[in-house]
Amino acid sequence: MKIKIIYYKILKMIKPQSYLNVADNSGARKLMCIRVLGGSYRESGNIGNVIIAVVKDALPNMPIKKSDVVRAVIVRTSKGLRRENGMIIRFDENAAVIINKEGNPKGTRVFGPIARELRDLNFTKIVSLAPEVI
């Protein structure tokens, strides 16, 4: 009797229906990804990709309310990111920063570490607000 072993590829990238924490003070706490921008067949996103998301949890008396549809840029993923020198950067959580149409953050502060690759993708305002760039 032969035993067949099947290996499944587990992806921890950001896909539609993925939940993310918000890493700024815009008023939202949790986001759910609706769409990853950047192509008609793009299934998943990583650090630096822009997503369209819905606010699932928000602070009261803030400009961003629950069930608002917003744009956000992914700043941390638990899957990580491989750099050209072979180093892999992984974080404990999936997090995003809410942005406007021009790519500027809606909040005035960014919490937690941010990957250096955001500077190369012209999100310099987010990088300048971050307390730590890895």
Q: What's the CATH code of the domain at 91?
A: 2.40.150.20
Report the relative pairing of strands 81-82 and 69-76 from DSSP bridges: unpaired
Q: Answer yes or no: is 41 within a domain.
A: yes
Residue 94 binned pLDDT confidence (cut-offs 50, 70, 90): very high
Q: What is the pLDDT of residue 8?
A: 43
Q: Answer yes or no: is 3 within a domain.
A: no
Q: What is the pTM of this model?
A: 0.87
- Indicate whether 123 pLDDT > 70: yes
pLDDT in tens, 102-121: 999 999 999 999 999 999 99
Q: Answer yes or no: is 49 within a domain.
A: yes
Q: Answer yes or no: is 74 within a domain.
A: yes
Residue 84 binned pLDDT confidence (cut-offs 50, 70, 90): confident
Q: Answer yes or no: is 29 within a domain.
A: yes
- DSSP symbol at 14: B
**Whole-angstrom Cα distance, residue 36 to residue 16?**
7
Q: What is the pLDDT of residue 81?
A: 85
**Whole-angstrom Cα distance, residue 119 to residue 15?**
23
Question: What is the residue range of 61's domain?
Answer: 19-133
> How much is the average pLDDT of 72-78?
95
Q: Residue 99, Cβ neighbours under 10 Å: how many? A: 21
Q: Answer yes or no: is 40 within a domain.
A: yes
Q: Answer yes or no: is 9 within a domain.
A: no
Q: How many Cα atoms occupy the beta-carbon half-sphere of 121 within 13 Å?
A: 18
pLDDT in tens, 6-64: 444 444 589 999 999 999 999 999 999 999 998 888 889 999 999 999 999 999 999 99
Q: What is the pLDDT of residue 3?
A: 61
Report the domain count for the chain.
Answer: 1
Q: Answer yes or no: is 57 within a domain.
A: yes
Q: What is the pLDDT of residue 2?
A: 58
Q: What is the pLDDT of residue 1?
A: 57
